[in-house]
Amino acid sequence: MMPFPLQTVLDVRKRQEERSLMDFVEEVRCLKEEKERLGGLQRQVNDALGLLRNLQEKTVEVMEMEMHLVHVRCCRRLVQEQRSVVEQREEEVRARRERLVHAMKERKVMETLRDHHDGEQKKKEETREQAAMDERAIIGARRKKK
């Protein structure tokens, strides 16, 4: 049977799909880390706000209160920056997912072509075998007549 003439292309497509999958998995891992970092920052803001609420019940100096307010503002700014990072990572994950789906489709097209090629080769082989069997049957029938 004749080998698939585009086997090297199929192999390249498989490697591209594997690379796309690895890139996607890595980006998802990074997104998870960034989300965890965002959660930690949000907890810091909540803790700082809780501390500020507790300070309201006590008599404290204005400078101390101002220091806590500045800390809360700083934490909120960090949360906003981290949200931006998370959004960028989410966009990158979407882009990597699209690349992966595209690579999977390209590989599938090549596998379909290979399967079609194999089917055609099998039909040709069956046709040759049938012709050979028919020829043997004709030769055998001629021998019996003699």
Q: Examine residue 77 and state whether it is found in any structural domain, yes or no.
A: yes
In the numeric block, the tokens 């810091």 are attached to 44
How many C-beta atoms surround the C-beta of residue 140 within 10 A?
9
Whole-model pTM: value is: 0.76
Structure token pair of residue 54: 């507790």
Q: How many domains does the chain have?
A: 1
Q: Examine residue 130 and state whether it is found in any structural domain, yes or no.
A: no
Contacts of 75 (CB under 8 A, 6+ apart): 41, 44, 45, 48
Q: Using one digit for the tens of pLDDT, what is the confidence trace for 8-42?
A: 999 999 999 999 999 999 999 999 999 999 999 99
Q: Examine residue 1 and state whether it is found in any structural domain, yes or no.
A: no
How many C-beta atoms surround the C-beta of residue 16 within 10 A?
17
Q: Examine residue 97 and state whether it is found in any structural domain, yes or no.
A: yes
Average pLDDT over residues 121-140: 91
Q: Using one digit for the tens of pLDDT, what is the confidence trace for 88-129?
A: 999 999 999 999 999 999 999 999 999 999 999 999 999 999
First to last CA, the chain: 38
Q: Examine residue 2 and state whether it is found in any structural domain, yes or no.
A: no
50: domain CATH number is 1.10.287.1700
DSSP at 61 = -
- Give residue 62's domain range: 7-118
